[in-house]
Amino acid sequence: MTPGTTGLSGAAETQEEWRGWRQAMRDALYGPGGFYRVGPEGPAGHFRTSVHASPLFAGAVARLLCRVDAALEHPAQLDFVDMAAGRGELVTGVLAALPADVAARTRAYAVEVAARPEGLDRRIRWLAEPPAGVTGLLFANEWLDNVPVEVAEVDAAGVARRVLVRGDGAERLGEPVAGAEASWLARWWPSAGEEGRRAEIGLPRDEAWASAVATLDAGLAVAADYAHTAAARPPFGTLTGFRRGRETEPVPDGSCDITAHVALDACAAAHTARCTPEHAPPDALLRPQREALHALGITGARPPLALASADPAAYVRALASASEAAELTAPGGLGGLGDFLWLLQPVGAVDAAALLVDVADHEEQ
């Protein structure tokens, strides 16, 4: 691809048709008639997340919320914020999984651009932006990958340029990346000047994450997403689309989800950069989902065969639960969701590592 060329379809270009990917994604996903604003089925009709794979996931998040509650010494009001809540599946499942005494103190929020679904639990507050003054847990499952970003590609001269796109998905190269975006690329995703290399410029995601964490007075913010770190950036980016359960070309016309993996190490640093030296935040953690869920009691271990003869119905239920747990923790190459990366960002006197210490069920109760 070279600067000024026509797109993939070869149609005559009009200057007004070409936009950066960030604006194109914003309009396609969140504009009037956008992908996330229409359709009663919500995201679940197009792709499968951990929330939709099994209620075990909501149970694990509920357990994490209980551990945050204990770390905060059981405040009178405990907040749970579900970022990018879809149709409220996660927050509903968390409320159902909480012990009664914790649920009674919990204020539940769902943050989503779509309208509130009919029949949603009336205890759940439905908001377009996260609330301020949160004491508890903010959980963002597959949110940041849908925060719109610019895409850059290195041209034949070794210059990183913005990728421009039309509504039909055709692309061309635009102006050189400059300013804060160029600084971000140099720090977090250097290309070494190799022609054809691509990168998603994660600066808007850093800012979105830092703003979300800033809503906490005390507690923990978690981002769970397909992600990468500086040690293993994908050389050609990860921009893609999903429609009706299948991966597809990313076409910014509102007909499909458009997503790109997240540079979560950059997001973690963005929150730290906002803090003054005298108020340095506690250490953040990056953990694969399989490790985090194992520490929260989801292992995928098969039930003992002796149970099959002692209580066949219980064995079948336990076997089904083990299968769901395996999907949540198995590597993506094996059809699982365990390759997700969790960023755990504590605020106040909370030790993120201590929250992921595996504790036996009877001891935790």
Residue 16: its pLDDT value, please? Answer: 57
Residue 365 pLDDT > 60, yes or no? no
Q: Which residue has the higher pLDDT, 361 or 71?
A: 71
Please report where in the chains the tokens 């797109």 appear, as a residue.
Answer: 7
Please report where in the chains the tokens 């906490």 appear, as a residue.
Answer: 216
Residue 287: its pLDDT value, please? Answer: 95
20 vs 295: CA distance, rounded Å: 41
What's the predicted TM-score (pTM) here? 0.87
Q: Which residue has the higher pLDDT, 110 or 245?
A: 110
Task: Give the torsion sign (CA, 233, 236, 239, 244).
Answer: negative
Which residues touch 322 (CB under 8 Å, ≥6 apart)? Answer: 300, 301, 302, 303
Instruction: Name the nearest CA neighbour of 202 among 21, 2, 1.
Output: 21
Band (244; pLDDT cuts 50, 70, 90)? confident
Which of 43-57, 203-217, 331-345 bottoms out in mean pLDDT, i.e. has the lowest? 43-57
Average pLDDT score over residue span 211-222: 97
End-to-end alpha carbon distance in the chain: 59
Residue 7: its pLDDT value, please? Answer: 38
Residue 263 pLDDT > 80, yes or no? yes
Tens of pLDDT, residue by residue over 168-196, are 999 999 999 999 999 999 999 998 789 99
Secondary element (H or E) of residue 306:
helix 306-310
352 vs 283: CA distance, rounded Å: 8
List strand residue ranges (DSSP E) for 99-245, in order.
106-111, 124-127, 134-141, 150-154, 160-165, 171-176, 198-201, 216-225, 227-228, 240-243
What is the edge-to-edge ordering of all strands in the sheet holding 240-243? Answer: 246-248, 240-243, 257-259
User: Is residue 289 within 8 Å of 339, Cβ to Cβ?
Assistant: yes
Residue 39: its pLDDT value, please? Answer: 61
Tens of pLDDT, residue by residue over 92-148, are 999 999 999 999 999 999 999 989 999 999 999 999 999 999 999 999 999 999 999
